[in-house]
């Protein structure tokens, strides 16, 4: 591990990555600054869809799901090269607005696309379940064990300036499997310093913006993926999670985000500042624009038996399940208006609903928040000190006091007890899945997402969770600022004060559905039914 | 947690448990000391089989496997009451020789037996796959979180005097499941102080002896089970393991012992001084007198889906697999004469064999030995200090320096890397299972088992392993003391010096077979083939 401290300023080191990004941008598709009046663009998607950058067919391509793409490829209607080009064109301009990319991989993506097209021409078959599907990867560029999802030959830095020397030789396991299933990787995406923000800012390539409104946070830590998938610049995004880092950016960016039970999806070749921390397991999860795409992502990975290489994983194949309305009971944590609307719609669709009182979430949060940084942030401090880059406020917020080994053991014990109790309670109450908010509000300003509880509870419990658009959008007429609000706490008051009916007008409200431990398949199939009911 | 330190001496506190044991002994079956010339008895099994304590039919009962018992029950030939009585009679006398029991549960066992007989009379069906099978449980008596396998209403002390106040309300999860499958529990068995010896001694009920020779160690930490199952006082024994604690006592006592991959067998209601320590997972494993009984034990447990209550477990049902000679390649770590004989026999049986050079076992041991007591033994010291009982030498030997959280994370990372590499190497070398010694020698004197490596390697790797009799016995004529031995180390020299051809003459030599991570089913089915070849 080389330290840049002695000879180079952290700003100069960070510039290495900025240059890689600048140099990688496909100049043929970038817009001139004068033609791109970024200050006038509120909704990036509206701009991308209506500015004529993409042809009608290209717009259809970038609106496709996995299923839709495969059908077009199988019929010979579209080539992967044409589709990849459409996504790259869109991504190039979108990135000028949103700053979600850390590096474009145009050449390798187009080469991969051509190889897939050649395969199809010669064999009239698709190479796998993700044939020609553009999938972006959460990963900055840097050195050593601190980066996140390795892409072979590329800098991997976990958003620490001091890690900008890390160039893993090979793709991370998950990237290998996705490519083997036929995916192409058009670009890599941004993440926050230390990877532990529900936001997406760092001292290297800076802040990613939300496609719905650039003043809003894209969420995090998979915020680059939230912005990229939310603006339809990739069909699927590979996010990572330890506290809601997939569901949160998905929910902020009008996308779908799935956090599986830990130790199912491959994670070899991912290492942040918490490598070897096992008390709360991180995991990889997909972001997309449809529920079905999440299932296809999981199936494509787990059908390849990743546990036979990555022995840390649980050897559980993806099961094909069929959840029916008759067999499903949805517990609802009724907390706000969107949930009340959802309750009515579920009932109207004939799905059984029960109110579900949260069980001791404060106790769960107390356990998990002490376990995340049991080392007291020793590695984070070391990674920052090595370059001299300043610590961002949200990095600081996540840190905690160091634990002794004995304290760590005691908290592990308490965590398991809490998990058992919660699982038993769901059974006792006869609830299969729990519908709940994805966040305290519909979104947050840049740097202002401070509450992990809504999503982190499912990491504490190691239960799978998916966030997705509820079908309801914020309406300043129906959702005015509440003047007689009685806050339950200071935090509550601050959150209510942050609600701005003008700012959030028209922003889609996402919702979260959590399943039982290791019932990932049942969760996603139930989520299809719930979504169908909500959108009816 | 009450401490006895202030008011009572540790000896007086320990006396509580000794009295429970004394009071529980079924007096009707105990022999008078004058009739039981313990000093003359070398092999307890010979004595129990030939002294007329049991009738011919009772001897047949105590020689039965699970399959055999079920057939006799299903045909109405034997009642569970008669079988339970035979085992209790045998155990009462055997315990006078071997000191393996911590408490007899005669009344509840016989009540349970009668209930099973009533069920059969009324329904002509057995209640489950372990109907009327006598299963002993590794568990002393004591207070708090330090006991081992809870039996409802009974003291549970993990062999710490200070924990003699712990009386759990309920049976441990595994005990509940075994009883639900029809098992009866005739007695509980001894374990060493701290649970971390490959031996079986403590300051409460003292040392358990080996049925083959009372001067030998029964192994440990499931030494009480080794002695009980090895002397056919129960059909199955519930042991626990974190370093070879099932295979080691099984191998010393001419029995079968299976350590599954961690997180498969239920462990809720077990807590020693390492509760919450997750870097090296402990597990529960069965001891028996036949390979088939191990499979039946696993299937009976896992068919009950223990993961739906105990969410820590991996939700993997027991799979019925069929390993054939054609599909099997056995790697052999050729280290001594017994393995060379095994190699010939496997080849003669048409099983493919490859020599397997151990891969970096020293590195594995270095990782695991630092992880066991990452707390530096803080809890062990506290548990001893609370009563003032002295620390036994083997307790001391297992302790290590405390780690920081960061060091623990680094070792976790190294452990996973080692596991992946080992798994990949087995695949690369085309080896399905590995045949290796169960211990450096055929046995050890009381208090002298110091080498964990032969068994702990499979805990380090979290690979399943089974030890079983090789069919070869030590023969002083064929296996004399080697006079021109060139030791590889001081330890090696000490072990060779400890070999006493007279003492070990006639002692059966056990062998160990290890499988791949989470291929427990394949391992046990392969072990049946290997055993068949060895005994041919």
pLDDT top residue among A213 and B489:
A213
Q: Which residues in chain B are closer than 8 Å to A517, comparing Cβ atoms?
A: 311
In this model, does residue A196 exceed pLDDT 70? Answer: yes
Of B311, B375, B411, the CB nearest to A420: B311
Measured CA to CA, the distance from residue A449 to residue A385 in angstroms comes to 25
Q: Which residues in chain A are closer than 8 Å to B411, comparing Cβ atoms?
A: 276
Q: A401 touching B, CB under 8 A?
A: no
Longest Cα pair distance anywhere in chain B, in angstroms? Answer: 69
| A206 contacts A99 by C-beta, under 8 angstroms | yes
pLDDT top residue among A513 and B9:
A513
In this model, does residue A471 exceed pLDDT 60? Answer: yes
Q: Which residues in chain B are closer than 8 Å to A410, comparing Cβ atoms?
A: 276
In angstroms, the separation between the Cα of residue B359 and the nearest Cα of chain A is 17
Angle, alpha carbons B27-B29-B30 (nearest 5°): 65
pLDDT classification of B4: cutoffs 50, 70, 90: very low
* The predicted structure's pLDDT at residue A135: 98
**Residue whose structure tokens are 């100049």:** A27
The whole-chain average pLDDT of chain B stands at 92
B315·A420 Cβ contact <8 A: no
Residue of A nearest to B279 (CA): A278
A408·B408 Cβ contact <8 A: yes
Measured CA to CA, the distance from residue A383 to residue A53 in angstroms comes to 41
Measured CA to CA, the distance from residue B260 to residue B522 in angstroms comes to 11
The 10s digit of each residue's pLDDT in B357-414 is: 999 999 999 999 999 999 999 999 998 998 899 999 999 999 988 999 999 999 999 9
In angstroms, the separation between the Cα of residue A517 and the nearest Cα of chain B is 7
Of B271, B374, B410, the CB nearest to A276: B410
| A446 contacts A252 by C-beta, under 8 angstroms | no
Measured CA to CA, the distance from residue B527 to residue B467 in angstroms comes to 9
Of B316, B374, B416, the CB nearest to A312: B416
B309·A424 Cβ contact <8 A: yes
Q: A72 touching B, CB under 8 A?
A: no
- Taken in order of first residue, the domains within chain A and their CATH numbers are 10-306+321-535 (3.90.1300.10)
Of A311, A402, A410, the CB nearest to B420: A311
pLDDT classification of A217: cutoffs 50, 70, 90: very high
**Residue whose structure tokens are 């509840």:** B108
Q: B517 touching A, CB under 8 A?
A: yes
Q: B426 touching A, CB under 8 A?
A: no
**C-alpha of B462 from chain center:** 17
With CA atoms as reference, report the closest residue to A308 among B262, B30, B519. Answer: B519
Measured CA to CA, the distance from residue B23 to residue B154 in angstroms comes to 14
**Is the four-CA dihedral B370, B371, B374, B378 of positive or negative sign?**
negative
Which class for B461: exposed (0-12), middle (13-18), buried (19 or more C-beta within 10 A)?
A: buried
Longest Cα pair distance anywhere in chain A, in angstroms? Answer: 69
Q: B409 touching A, CB under 8 A?
A: yes
**Residue whose structure tokens are 């796959």:** B129
In this model, does residue B310 exceed pLDDT 90? Answer: yes
Measured CA to CA, the distance from residue A371 to residue A394 in angstroms comes to 17
| A459 contacts A248 by C-beta, under 8 angstroms | no
pLDDT classification of B2: cutoffs 50, 70, 90: very low
Best B306, B310, B311 member to test A by mutation, with max A CBs in 10 Å, is B311
Measured CA to CA, the distance from residue B141 to residue B138 in angstroms comes to 10
Residue of B nearest to A373 (CA): B405
Best B144, B146, B276, B379 member to test A by mutation, with max A CBs in 10 Å, is B276
With CA atoms as reference, report the closest residue to B133 among B259, B253, B318, B299. Answer: B299
Q: Which two tokens stand for residue A533?
A: 């009911």
* The predicted structure's pLDDT at residue B154: 72
Q: Classify A232 as helix, strand or coil.
A: coil
Percentage of residues of chain A with pLDDT beyond 70: 95
* The predicted structure's pLDDT at residue A3: 45
A408·B274 Cβ contact <8 A: no
* The predicted structure's pLDDT at residue B194: 87
Measured CA to CA, the distance from residue B529 to residue B533 in angstroms comes to 6
In angstroms, the separation between the Cα of residue B414 and the nearest Cα of chain A is 8
The 10s digit of each residue's pLDDT in B498-527 is: 889 999 999 999 999 999 999 999 999 999
Q: Which residues, 6+ apart, have CB-to-CB distance to A107 below 8 Å?
A: none
Of A311, A411, A419, the CB nearest to B423: A311
* The predicted structure's pLDDT at residue A347: 97
Measured CA to CA, the distance from residue B284 to residue B86 in angstroms comes to 27
Cis peptide before A221 (omega within 30 of 0): yes
* The predicted structure's pLDDT at residue B145: 30
In angstroms, the separation between the Cα of residue A536 and the nearest Cα of chain B is 34
Measured CA to CA, the distance from residue A430 to residue A91 in angstroms comes to 45
Lowest mean pLDDT among A74-83, A183-192, A492-501, B5-14: B5-14
Measured CA to CA, the distance from residue A33 to residue A45 in angstroms comes to 18
Residue B84, CA distances (Å) to B69, B80, B108 in order: 11, 6, 11
The whole-chain average pLDDT of chain A stands at 92
In this model, does residue B281 exceed pLDDT 80? Answer: yes
Query: Count of CB atoms within 10 A of residue A445's CB?
Result: 15
The 10s digit of each residue's pLDDT in A18-74 is: 999 999 999 999 999 888 888 889 999 999 999 999 999 999 999 999 999 999 999
With CA atoms as reference, report the closest residue to A99 among A213, A228, A195, A185. Answer: A228
With CA atoms as reference, report the closest residue to B527 among B330, B341, B254, B319. Answer: B330
B409·A311 Cβ contact <8 A: no
Chain A, 39 to 58: residues with Cβ < 8 Å from chain B are none
Element (H, E) at A116: helix A106-123
Chain B, 434 to 463: residues with Cβ < 8 Å from chain A are 462
Q: B314 touching A, CB under 8 A?
A: yes
* The predicted structure's pLDDT at residue A148: 63
pLDDT classification of B489: cutoffs 50, 70, 90: confident
In this model, does residue A83 exceed pLDDT 90? Answer: yes
Residue B54, CA distances (Å) to B29, B85, B187 in order: 10, 10, 18
pLDDT classification of A498: cutoffs 50, 70, 90: confident
Best A306, A311, A318, A319 member to test B by mutation, with max B CBs in 10 Å, is A311
Torsion angles phi and psi, residue B128, rounded to 5: -175, -175
Of A404, A411, A416, the CB nearest to B312: A416
In angstroms, the separation between the Cα of residue B419 and the nearest Cα of chain A is 7
pLDDT classification of A2: cutoffs 50, 70, 90: very low
In this model, does residue A1 exceed pLDDT 50? Answer: no
Measured CA to CA, the distance from residue B434 to residue A75 in angstroms comes to 50
Query: Count of CB atoms within 10 A of residue B382's CB?
Result: 17
pLDDT top residue among A450 and B391:
B391
In angstroms, the separation between the Cα of residue A80 and the nearest Cα of chain B is 35
Torsion angles phi and psi, residue B388, rounded to 5: 90, 5
Element (H, E) at B470: strand B465-473
Name the DSSP letter for residue B283: E
Torsion angles phi and psi, residue B334, rounded to 5: -75, 110
With CA atoms as reference, report the closest residue to A197 among A395, A20, A339, A22. Answer: A395
The 10s digit of each residue's pLDDT in B405-457 is: 999 999 999 999 999 999 999 999 999 999 999 998 899 999 998 889 999 99
Q: Which two tokens stand for residue A234?
A: 């990739």
* The predicted structure's pLDDT at residue A243: 94
Torsion angles phi and psi, residue B324, rounded to 5: -110, 160
| A526 contacts A513 by C-beta, under 8 angstroms | yes
* The predicted structure's pLDDT at residue A157: 67
A405·B316 Cβ contact <8 A: no
pLDDT classification of B157: cutoffs 50, 70, 90: low
With CA atoms as reference, report the closest residue to B135 among B187, B57, B73, B176. Answer: B187
In this model, does residue A492 exceed pLDDT 80? Answer: no
Q: A408 touching B, CB under 8 A?
A: yes
pLDDT classification of A336: cutoffs 50, 70, 90: low
Computed on alpha carbons and rounded to an integer, the radius of gyration of chain B in Å comes to 22
Percentage of residues of chain B with pLDDT beyond 90: 78
The 10s digit of each residue's pLDDT in A314-334 is: 999 999 999 999 999 999 998
In angstroms, the separation between the Cα of residue B404 and the nearest Cα of chain A is 7
In this model, does residue A451 exceed pLDDT 90? Answer: no
- For B478-514, give one letter per residue: b (16+ CB within 10 A) or e: ebeeeeeeeeeeeeeeebeebbeeebbeebbbbbbbb
Torsion angles phi and psi, residue A445, rounded to 5: -70, 160
* The predicted structure's pLDDT at residue B215: 96
Of B314, B405, B420, the CB nearest to A408: B405
* The predicted structure's pLDDT at residue A151: 72
Q: Which two tokens stand for residue A525?
A: 């199939």
Lowest mean pLDDT among A243-247, B180-184, B191-195: B191-195
The 10s digit of each residue's pLDDT in A387-436 is: 899 999 999 999 988 999 999 999 999 999 999 999 999 999 999 999 99
The 10s digit of each residue's pLDDT in A271-301 is: 677 889 999 999 999 999 999 999 999 999 9
In this model, does residue B222 exceed pLDDT 60? Answer: yes
The 10s digit of each residue's pLDDT in B82-141 is: 999 999 999 999 999 999 999 999 999 999 999 999 999 999 999 999 999 999 999 754
Of A315, A403, A427, the CB nearest to B405: A403
In this prediction, residues B331-346 reach a mean pLDDT of 88
In angstroms, the separation between the Cα of residue B413 and the nearest Cα of chain A is 5
Q: B170 touching A, CB under 8 A?
A: no
The pTM for the full model equals 0.94
Q: B379 touching A, CB under 8 A?
A: yes
A276·B378 Cβ contact <8 A: no
| A313 contacts A85 by C-beta, under 8 angstroms | no
């Amino acid at each position: 591990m080389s330290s840049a401290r002695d000879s180079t300023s952290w700003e100069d080191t960070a510039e290495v990555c900025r240059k890689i990004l600048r140099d990688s941008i496909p100049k043929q598709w970038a817009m001139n600054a004068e033609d791109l009046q970024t200050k006038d663009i509120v909704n990036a998607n509206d701009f991308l869809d209506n500015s004529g950058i993409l042809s009608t067919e290209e717009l259809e391509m970038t609106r496709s799901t996995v299923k839709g793409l495969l059908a077009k490829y199988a019929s010979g209607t579209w080539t992967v090269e044409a589709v990849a080009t459409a996504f790259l064109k869109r991504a190039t301009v979108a990135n000028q607005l949103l700053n979600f990319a850390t590096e474009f991989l145009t050449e390798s993506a187009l080469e991969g696309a051509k190889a897939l097209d050649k395969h199809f021409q010669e064999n009239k078959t698709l190479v796998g379940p993700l044939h020609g599907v553009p999938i972006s990867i959460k990963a900055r560029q840097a050195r050593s064990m601190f980066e996140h999802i390795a892409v072979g030959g590329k800098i991997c830095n976990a958003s620490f300036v001091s890690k900008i020397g890390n160039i893993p030789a090979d793709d991370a396991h998950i990237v290998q499997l996705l490519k083997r299933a036929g995916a192409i990787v058009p670009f890599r995406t941004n993440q926050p310093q230390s990877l532990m923000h529900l936001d997406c800012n760092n001292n290297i390539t800076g802040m990613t913006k939300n496609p719905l409104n650039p003043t809003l946070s894209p969420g995090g830590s998979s915020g680059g993926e939230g912005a990229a998938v939310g603006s339809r610049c990739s069909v699927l995004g590979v996010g990572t999670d330890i506290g809601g880092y997939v569901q949160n950016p998905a929910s902020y960016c009008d996308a779908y985000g799935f956090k599986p039970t830990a130790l199912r999806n491959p994670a070899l070749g991912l290492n942040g500042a918490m490598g070897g921390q096992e008390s709360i397991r991180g995991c990889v999860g997909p972001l997309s624009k449809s529920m079905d795409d999440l299932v296809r992502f999981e199936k494509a990975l787990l059908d390849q038996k990743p546990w036979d290489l990555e022995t840390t994983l649980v050897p559980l194949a993806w099961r094909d399940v069929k959840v029916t309305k008759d067999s499903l009971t949805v517990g609802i944590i009724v907390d706000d208006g969107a949930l009340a609307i959802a309750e009515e719609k579920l009932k109207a669709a004939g799905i059984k609903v029960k109110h579900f009182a949260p069980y001791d979430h404060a106790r769960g949060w107390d356990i998990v928040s002490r376990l995340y940084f049991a080392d007291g942030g020793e590695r984070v401090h070391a990674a920052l000190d090595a370059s001299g880059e300043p610590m961002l406020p949200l990095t600081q917020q996540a840190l905690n006091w160091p634990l002794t080994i004995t304290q760590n053991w005691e908290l592990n014990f308490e965590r398991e007890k809490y998990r058992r109790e919660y699982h038993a309670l769901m059974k006792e109450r006869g609830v299969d899945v729990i519908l709940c908010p994805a966040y305290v509000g519909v979104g947050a300003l840049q740097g202002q997402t401070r509450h992990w509880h809504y999503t982190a509870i499912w990491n504490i419990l190691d239960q799978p969770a998916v966030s997705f658009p509820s079908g309801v959008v914020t309406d300043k007429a129906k959702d005015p600022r509440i003047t007689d609000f009685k806050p339950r706490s200071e935090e509550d008051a601050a959150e209510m004060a942050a609600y701005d009916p003008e700012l959030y007008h028209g922003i889609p409200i996402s919702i979260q559905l959590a399943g039982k431990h290791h019932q990932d398949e049942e969760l996603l199939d139930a989520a299809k039914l719930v979504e169908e009911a909500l959108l009816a």
